[in-house]
Amino acid sequence: MKRGTTVYLYELAWILPSIAIPVGMLAALVVTAFGAGIHLPGVEGRVVPTKVAETPPFDRPGVVEIAPGRYEARLVAQIWSFTPSEIRVPAGSTVTFVVTSRDVVHGLLIHGKANVMLLPGQVARVTTRFDRPGEYPMLCHEYCGLAHHTMWGKVIVEPRS
Ligand code: CUA
């Protein structure tokens, strides 16, 4: 192989990835935005943090049955608790958590079920299904101050009678 050709291939080995990587990143953006529907919330996904207590649905936190077997759990996070700190649903329920924070950044982690950041001013929604009866801890998994480690609650999934 001629020396000049070797240099050309060496350059090509850098040029091609430098084109492929941004193209790959752009493709990942398009797929997640339009395919997986990952995007910033619109106006309906915002709330004024200082007025959470007066803003529906957070003026009445708790669980409501929105259809047979489908529930909406409206939670408010604040230092250092969730309101309500305990929710109950029957086994086999599909639950949509609608959650926001009234002060600082918190998180909601229900192992294997939900994992969202709770940003003041933003409403997080996550839907999951509870088939097995039992207790599922709801943990704050974003450091939110001195008593962060005490910020937790639980989902109690009751057996169907
Ligand atoms: Cu709330 Cu950590």
pLDDT (tens digit per residue) in 34-84: 888 777 766 678 899 899 989 899 999 999 999 999 999 999 999 999 999
Distance CA 73, CA 36 (A): 23
Prediction pTM value: 0.77
Residues 81 and 117 in one domain: yes
Residues 64 and 143 in one domain: yes
Residue 17 lies in a domain: yes
Q: Which atom of ligand 1 is nearest to the CA of 142?
A: 2
Which residues have a Cβ under 8 Å from the Cβ of 2 and sit 6 or more positions away?
Answer: none
pLDDT (tens digit per residue) in 80-99: 999 999 999 999 999 999 99
Average pLDDT in the 94-118 region? Answer: 95
Residues 70 and 12 in one domain: no
pLDDT above 80 (res 2): no
> How much is the pLDDT for 9?
86
The 10 Å Cβ neighbour count of residue 128 is 17
Residue 76 lies in a domain: yes
Q: Which atom of ligand 1 is nearest to the CA of 79?
A: 1
Residues 144 and 65 in one domain: yes
Domain that includes residue 106, residue range: 49-158
Residue nearest to atom 1 of ligand 1 (CA): 106
Ligand 1 centre from 80 Cα, in Å? 6
Longest Cα pair distance anywhere in the chain, in angstroms? Answer: 81
Count of domains in the chain? 2
Does 151 sit in the ligand 1 pocket, CB within 6 Å? yes
CATH number at residue 71: 2.60.40.420
Mean pLDDT (the chain, rounded): 91
CA quadruple 36, 100, 130, 90: dihedral sign: negative
For residue 14, give the 3-state DSSP assignment: helix
